[in-house]
């Protein structure tokens, strides 16, 4: 088949490109710090969610040095609610490494040596920030490529073939001349035209070259192998307030799930449901713990979590246990979203949370 025209896609992009807070204006070079930060934030997170959080993060850490020199607690607090908290730890570590190097590596291989940067992210930063001739394979590019070439093999097994086909777009001299714009054009095509459901093929600049469109397979592709059922784990947490209504929080160990983030103390998360007596035996203090009505649920990548909550108030003259004591609104800002759901369950959320 005749490959689609990169010039046609770039012409469409020049007229219809999305305006995004991390994207450079037409004709200007993108700031590597902005590209890197946006790509890390966009891992497992939607553009709609990242937009305002990107601006807020940038206001607090306006450049690489500000991020690298900030205490981890400040970075963790600003990341709270975005989820996938290993990203924040790697972001902070990578900022310090880049600063020590004197600047960003400009190649895909060099970028891939940094913490938290895998093959896709390295390719995206290299293409967008440094105009490297590489096509990053995200979900949008996979979908566009699978439909253009009518690839019926199911994901994830189809990834190597889709990657090879996507890199083949660069055989077109128009794509090689503007690899950063070409990459973002593919992103925008997948996000706005070649969408997962009900793609608007009539408006697609590559419609005539699309094999899936000719075969009537557009909405069926890309095919995906069935996902295994997500297991459920159970936990019990203990919300302690002092006489002034401040919330007691502890910081989790630096490694592991939610590493380094603040938490409402609780049991481990396990497959078996916690019996009340068993859970109360693990309460952090000997107090009159009262159960909150209902449960809080949260879904992680590999498991779903169901949490019960017990509440108590510290007697006025009792010594406060070590940790961080915050007003409910401050706690809602500082806690990851899974823990904020417990504040909502207790009726002291201090404001909305991001599920």
- Residue numbers annotated as active site: 39
Question: What token pair was written down for 101?
Answer: 């190097």
Question: What token pair was written down for 271?
Answer: 């497959």
The verdict on whether omega for the bond into residue 156 sits within 30 degrees of 0, i.e. cis, is yes
- Residue 178 and residue 89: Cα distance in Å, rounded? 33
Asked if residues 151 and 137 have their Cβ atoms less than 8 Å apart, the reply is no
Q: What is the largest CA-CA distance in the chain?
A: 80
- What burial letters (b/e) apply to 55-76, b meaning 16+ CB within 10 Å? eebbeebeebeebbeeeeeebb
- Residue 147 and residue 213: Cα distance in Å, rounded? 7
Question: What token pair was written down for 263?
Answer: 């938490």
- Residue 338 and residue 264: Cα distance in Å, rounded? 10
3-state secondary structure of 251: strand
Question: What token pair was written down for 146?
Answer: 């699978």
- Residue 83 and residue 60: Cα distance in Å, rounded? 19
Length of the chain measured in residues: 355
What would the 3-class secondary structure string for 93-121 be?
Answer: HHHHHHHHHCCCCCCHHHHCCCCCCCHHH
Asked if residues 204 and 194 have their Cβ atoms less than 8 Å apart, the reply is yes
Cα dihedral: 298, 302, 303, 304 (round 10)? 30
Backbone φ/ψ region at 198: left (φ over 0), alpha (ψ -120 to 50), beta: left
């Amino acid at each position: 088949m005749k490959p689609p025209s990169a010039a046609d896609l770039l012409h469409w992009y020049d007229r219809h490109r999305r305006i995004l807070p991390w994207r450079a204006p037409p004709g200007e070079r993108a700031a590597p710090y902005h590209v890197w930060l946006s790509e890390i934030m966009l891992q497992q997170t939607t553009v709609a969610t990242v937009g305002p959080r990107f601006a807020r993060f940038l206001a607090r850490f306006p450049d690489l040095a500000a991020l690298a020199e900030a205490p981890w607690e400040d970075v963790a607090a600003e990341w709270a609610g975005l989820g996938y908290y290993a990203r924040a730890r790697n972001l902070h570590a990578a900022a310090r490494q880049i600063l020590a190097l004197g600047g960003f590596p400009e190649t895909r291989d060099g970028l891939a040596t940094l913490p938290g940067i895998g093959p896709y992210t390295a390719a995206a930063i290299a293409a967008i920030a440094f105009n490297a001739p590489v096509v990053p394979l995200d979900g949008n590019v996979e979908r566009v490529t699978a439909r253009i070439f009518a690839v019926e093999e199911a994901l994830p097994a189809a990834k190597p073939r889709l990657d090879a086909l996507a890199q083949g777009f660069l055989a077109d001299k128009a794509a090689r001349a503007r690899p950063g714009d070409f990459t973002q054009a593919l992103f925008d095509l997948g996000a706005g035209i070649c969408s997962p459901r009900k793609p608007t093929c009539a408006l697609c600049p590559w419609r005539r070259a699309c094999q899936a469109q000719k075969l009537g397979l557009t909405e069926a592709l890309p095919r995906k192998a069935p996902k295994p059922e997500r297991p459920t784990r159970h936990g019990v947490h203990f919300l302690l307030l002092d006489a002034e209504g401040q919330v007691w929080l502890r910081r989790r160990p630096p490694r592991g799930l939610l590493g380094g983030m603040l938490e409402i103390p609780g049991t481990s998360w396990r497959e078996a449901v916690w019996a009340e007596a068993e859970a109360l035996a693990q309460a952090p203090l000997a107090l009159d713990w009262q159960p909150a009505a209902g449960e809080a649920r949260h879904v992680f990548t590999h498991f779903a979590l169901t949490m019960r909550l017990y509440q108590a108030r510290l007697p006025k003259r009792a010594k406060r246990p070590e940790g961080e004591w915050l007003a409910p609104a401050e706690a809602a800002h500082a806690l990851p979203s899974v823990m904020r759901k417990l504040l909502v369950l207790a009726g002291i959320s201090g404001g909305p949370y991001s599920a």
